[in-house]
Chains A and B, each alone.
Chain A
Amino acid sequence: MKVTIDLDKCIMAGECVYNHPWLFEFNDDNQASVKVAVLTTDEQQLGARQAREVCPSGAIRLADD
């Protein structure tokens, strides 16, 4: 599973970063970014699905391999 952030949609709410700091971060350009692009473990995939759910702008996309 792959996770990406649509930066046009992203409003920098930070929900993904606060809820799953091992998967998401604010980078040096102050933009939300993905730390682990390819999610292999169940824990990572659950985290990414939760992040998509709490994202207020719907900017998080998940794609199956």
Chain B
Amino acid sequence: MGALANEIDPREFDSPGYQKDPFPLYKRLRDHHPLFRDRFHNRWMISRYEDVNAAFQDNESFDRALYRVDGPYEFGSSHVFGPNILEYGNSERHRWLRNIIAGQFVGQGLVSFIPFIEKIAGELLEECTGDGEVELVGRFSNQFPIRVISNILGLPRADEERFVGWYQALIAGLGFGGEHLARGIAARNEMWKYLEPIIQERLRDPGEDLLSKIAMAELDGKRMSMEEVKGFIALLLAAGGDTTDKAIANMWFHMLYTRPDQFEDVKKDPSLWENVFAEMMRYDAVVHVQSRYTTHEVEMHGRVIPERSLIILLLGSGNRDERVFANPDTFDIHRTDMHMGRENRSARYKDKLPGHLGFGVGQHFCMGYAMARQEAVIACARMMEMMKNPRPKFATHDGISSPNIDSGGFRSPQELWIEFDR
């Protein structure tokens, strides 16, 4: 083959084949274009594990936001979530907002939510496991995390159904655009109208719930604006719901279709769901892409990236990097070359093994990492208790896909039918 065989036409990134199975293209990027200048989409793409990890850790060169939060710009007016922490880049305001709630989702904060998580998982499973078969995505995983987070926020349980509806519209708006975006923004506005009196009430009479804590938090004697509180809630519902929802579906998909042999090990030892979670986050994480902007010229692989360039960090590719993981295209819950335990924001581990990149690393590392793992593992273990001898209803499956990898379109199976003995 000639040299041209390794050239990449950037239009490939828009093809349905790439949305379905991006891994062959990831490999070509890693092997031949570790820093790829995509002139068609006006961006640079980084695909190797070490490079993605290093960029995540280098706040000085790579910022999450192009504009400063204190600049003369409108933030998030057309974003599905409204103004939110993700828009705040590497600023002090970001650090402060994150500190307000980060502690709620780890350590003692997390432990205090476990009974909630157990209870909601049990209730939902009770409802959907009566028939000897269940469509997991619609009946369970789509509903579970959103119900958990609305409980943690202290929202009325009677209104949970409405939250599930708003959340599904928000997520569709985020992933598909077009009319879905319009519907997503309409749902957000409806939700905000609903939230405003509740937020005002919590400001007058704060409780122990997370919504009160967010509304009451102060930096230099100032609280968040009403718009910011509402944007934060929208983000929590969506980010805290959708990703975990899809993680659960992905874990089951891989056990039922990718590694039924290793599923037998999990049936014998449910604590292995922890490993299923870690390996799912490496092999085909819910989110494959994060973006950054260069704050100055950056030299990499013998080239210079100009200041204020859009950088795509392909963590989905870094996770399959053969330079770091043996047999990267094999799903293996007994992997010994990766840290399988709880993730760290620093990407440093006492066992000295590399971790997956599925939550990102560093300043903007997923805030709900411990919560997500806990919810997913509890849910999967409860399912095993309530469904005897679970197996796929259909012999074949269309597999995992995403509406649009670039827009953060989250990867998961559209449907997952499970049969079991009652």
Residues in chain A within 8 A of chain B (CB atoms) = 11-15, 17-19, 26, 30, 50, 53-58
Contact = CB atoms under 8 A, between A and B. Distances in A.
A57 B350 contact: no
Contacts of A14: 344-346, 348
Contacts of A15: 102, 106, 345
A50 B109 CA distance: 13
B213 to A, nearest CB: 11
19 contacts: A11-B349, A11-B350, A13-B344, A17-B346, A18-B365, A19-B98, A19-B102, A26-B346, A30-B348, A50-B99, A53-B107, A54-B99, A54-B102, A54-B103, A55-B106, A55-B107, A56-B106, A56-B107, A58-B107
Contacts of B345: 13-15, 18
A46 to B, nearest CB: 10
Residue among A19, A30, A56 with max Cβ neighbours from chain B (10 Å): A56
Contacts of A11: 342, 344, 349-350
Interface string B353-375: 00000000011010000100000
A51 to B, nearest CB: 9
A30 B348 CA distance: 8
A50 to B, nearest CB: 5
Contacts of A53: 103, 107
Interface string B87-124: 00000000100110011001110000000000000000
A22 to B, nearest CB: 11
Interface residues of B, number: 19
A1 B102 CA distance: 24
Given A15-B345, A53-B107, 10 more contacts: A11-B344, A12-B349, A13-B344, A15-B102, A18-B363, A19-B98, A26-B346, A54-B107, A56-B106, A56-B370
Contacts of B98: 19
Contacts of B346: 12-14, 17-18, 26
A7 B99 CA distance: 22
Nearest to B352: A30
Contacts of A55: 106-107
A34 to B, nearest CB: 16
A41 B265 CA distance: 54
Given A18-B362, A19-B95, A19-B99, A54 B348 contact: no
A-B residue pairs, 8 tightest by C-beta: A14-B346, A53-B103, A56-B106, A12-B348, A54-B103, A13-B344, A14-B345, A54-B102
A26 B348 contact: yes
